[in-house]
Amino acid sequence: MDERLEQALAVSKALETHQNQKNILHKQYKDNLIYYFDGQKISVDLSLIAYCTTKTMPIVIIDDNKTPVLIDDIEEFTKKITAMYETASRKYFMEFKKIKSKRSVKELIDL
């Protein structure tokens, strides 16, 4: 095989592996942003955190399963989802950083 083509194919393989690892990390990040409590499933994002931050009285939110949930202690709830968001984002950042600079398949998988 032409050496230039061979090199290009090796790079393409590394990029494909790189992309798949990035996709796995992103999916795991999205899963880590789901807050489960008392059988409820709530996807946390910045708009939910911002909304909760402005509230002082109990609120009702609709969870991912279309179930209404009464949040009695809004302060505690906001604290928990904010911490969860920060932990998940930080973990995603750290994991992403690990693979970002790696160029070979071997380095990517850390064999």
Partner 1 sequence: MTQGVLLFAYNSKNMDYTKQAIYCAKLIKQHLGKEVALVTDDESYLNRQYPFYKKYIDHVIITGHEDAVQERVYNDGLYHSDKQRWYNTNRSSCFELSPFDETIVIDTDVLIFNDELNRCFGSAEDFLISKDYNFVDMKRDYSEFDKVSETTCDMFWATAFYFKKTEFTSIFFDLIEHIKENWHFYRLVYEIAPVKFRNDYAFSIAIHMLRGMKDATWPLRVPTAIWVTVDKDILHAIDDTKLTLLLHKDYDYQLSAISDATVHVMNKFSLERCIDKVFEDE
Q: Which residues bind partner 1 (CB under 8 A)?
A: 13, 16-17, 20-21, 23-24, 27-28, 31, 34, 36, 38-39, 41, 65-67, 105-106, 108-111
CA distance 10 to 99: 17
Which SS3 state, helix, strand or coil, does residue 81 take?
helix
Closer to partner 1 by Cβ: residue 61 or 108: 108
Contact call for residues 69 and 63 (beta carbons, < 8 A)? yes
Closer to partner 1 by Cβ: residue 83 or 109: 109
Tell the smallest beta-carbon distance from residue 100 to partner 1 (Å).
15
Contact call for residues 58 and 70 (beta carbons, < 8 A)? yes
Closer to partner 1 by Cβ: residue 16 or 75: 16
Q: How far is CA 88 from the centre of its chain?
A: 6
